[in-house]
Chain A
Amino acid sequence: MDAIAVISIFVLAVFVGFEVVSKVSSTLHTPLMSGANAIHGVILVGAIIVADAANTNLELGLSVAAIILSTINVVGGFVVTDRMLEMFKPKKGGEQK
């Protein structure tokens, strides 16, 4: 990938990241942090790529560890966020803000 493309993607993603969460009530700080936490678990994709290309036992061992850790991150992250949010579901007569 050429440098300009990478920098463009990076800068645009920074602005999108800033924009989407700029007005969030403190009630949602924890679930939002937890959800973002789960999203960076997609490093699993990177872990799979390096595991696939691993040639030595050391490389394979480290990649296997990376896959395990990132799977825990991504799956656990989304499940725990869902459990937090489950409790925010609208109730009869209750108005969500």
Chain B
Amino acid sequence: MKDLIFSLIGLTAGVLFILALKGLSHPKTARRGNLLGALGATVAIILVFFELEKIENLGWIIGSIAFGLAVGVPAARKVQMTNMPQLVALFNGVGGGAAALVAIVEYLKHSEDMTVAFLIFTVFTVIVGCVSFSGSIVTFLKLQELMTTRPVVFPGGRFVIAATLASVLGVSVWVVQDTGTNPLLILAGLSLLFGILFVLPVGGADVPIVISLLNAFTGLTVAASGYVLDSTLLIIAGTLVGASGTILTRLMAEAMGRSLFGTLFGAFTAKPQAAAAADEERPVKSGSPEDVAILLNYARRVVIVPGFGLAVAQAQHTVREMADLLISKGIDVAYGIHPVAGRMPGHMNVLLAEANVPYEQLAEMDEVNPTFGQTDVAIVIGANDVVNPAAETTPGCPIYGMPILKVSDSANIIFLKRSMRPGFAGIENELLYDPKTTLLFGDAKASLTKVVSALKGL
């Protein structure tokens, strides 16, 4: 009877997770969906305390949860919107690491009397959990710009990766046959290495796709550990995340015009790139904030294209002030939102929503692209790759095939940039040298503030 009640409560948590994912798929219900997910997790965690068999480790368990809370909550609360993507990557990584640790402990305890099926699932959890952990750490370092954001490819890299993968598989067989501790530790080490090698060749706009993929991986490890620990709830929750994460990864890849296969196996197909022709001095037209204000003041239609630079400078309120000012002068203003502007899909929507930009002013790429022909000024704020025509004209460049915002169709283009440094993907942008382009160098917020005061003076 007690078991039945526990099973039913566990099932409730599983249903809450389904409702959570369902809710998160629609803007109106998204927040409620997330809260349902949190409720499901809370129910599951409270439930497990009633199922504990020993009491002596309870202090350790509660203490560790308290410690995790003390680390996780402030990190999630205090992180700036700009740094959100890498925090998600980090959370995903620690989840994968936790799943791998759970499997390792279970193995240490029971490897002698585990069936082959159990051993296979344990091995799977250790491999994928470790890959997810180390891979997520690398994406974190990339997004935090603690290491180069460009694809890291070294000669013979694909052979090293293939060899690592082959050894992972070989050692897996060894673990299943030998059931000793050392083979498993070697397996964990090799899997960590493979995770690093897997993510290193991924660069620029593909990083969010990889985070999503690793997220799906972690889901599958959770499902596998659910099998090992005989927990239906973990199987349901993990499989849900694995399946929805896979679909989400595919949707994200499609939104960016990438093939999922290409991203997945980028590690095996990436070729070392010729260094971009550096030190080439080409004339660019840079303007003052007053020049920009005048261009804007006499426009009939202005499209604002925000990018990561806007997020870095926290300029979302200033950009809204500028837009409101232009609207009050009778100018038609829209924001052109590229699906992957910033560091993650939807990054810009979140940022502009924070500044209370009316939803109807935000135009998605497909809506705004046909209107650039009638646009007098496109003002690109801290974006680069998402407007780079190289995506259409240069086969073989890392962003080739990604749909872009066609700002080049508008009569004038203004770039607000910190420097001539190329964007996240590390590709030169020809548009910067276009005669109808005006560059305004500096921090986006500082520049926009100057433009706003110049506009007020006109």
Query: Is this pair of chains taken from one and the same complex?
Result: yes
Residues of chain A lying within 8 A (CB to CB) of residue B117? 3
Main secondary structure of the interface of B (DSSP, over half): helix
Mark interface residues in A59-92 (1 if CB within 8 Å of B CB, else 0). 1101111111111111111111111111111110
Query: Does A80 contact B219, Cβ atoms closer than 8 Å?
Result: no
Q: Kindly identify which residue among A9, A46, A76 contacts B102, using a CB–CB cutoff of 8 Å.
A: A46
Q: A16-B18, A46-B226 are in contact. Are A71 and B215 (CB under 8 A)?
A: no
Between A and B, 23 residue pairs with Cβ closer than 8 Å are A1-B232, A21-B25, A21-B251, A25-B27, A27-B27, A31-B24, A37-B215, A39-B237, A40-B95, A41-B95, A45-B233, A49-B48, A50-B109, A52-B53, A63-B101, A67-B98, A72-B71, A78-B38, A80-B88, A83-B77, A85-B31, A90-B28, A96-B27
Whether B69 sits at the interface, judged by CB under 8 Å, is: yes
Q: Which of B89-142 contact A (CB under 8 A)?
A: 91-92, 94-95, 97-99, 101-102, 104-106, 108-109, 117
In the bound assembly, the distance between CA atoms of A84 and B40 in angstroms comes to 20
Bitwise interface map of A from 27 to 45 toward B, beta carbon under 8 Å scored 1, else 0: 1111111111111111111
B-side residues, CB < 8 A to A, are 13, 17-18, 20-22, 24-28, 30-31, 33-35, 37-38, 40-41, 44-45, 47-49, 51-54, 57-58, 60-61, 64-65, 67-69, 71-73, 75-77, 79, 84-85, 87-88, 91-92, 94-95, 97-99, 101-102, 104-106, 108-109, 117, 208, 211-212, 215, 218-219, 221-223, 225-227, 229-248, 251-252, 255, 339-340, 344-347, 349-350, 353-354, 356, 358-360, 364
A48-B52, A78-B38, A82-B35 known; A33+B231 contact, CB < 8 A? no
A side interface size, CB within 8 A:
86
Query: Do the beta carbons of B240 and A53 come within 8 Å of each other?
Result: no
Of A17, A24, A83, A95, which is within 8 A of B360 by CB? A95
For A36, the chain B residues whose CB sits under 8 A away are 21, 24, 215, 219, 240-241, 244-245, 248
Contact A52 B21 (CB under 8 A): no
Q: A94–B102 contact, CB under 8 A?
A: no
Residues of B within 8 A of A6 (CB): 227, 235
A10-B27 in contact (CB<8A): no
Are A94's CB and B235's CB within 8 A? no
* Chain B residues within an 8 Å CB radius of A85: 30-31, 34
Q: Is the interface of A mostly helix, strand, loop or mixed?
A: helix
Q: Which of B31, B54, B91, B222 contacts A76, CB < 8 Å? A: B91
* Interface pair A89/B91, CB less than 8 Å apart: no
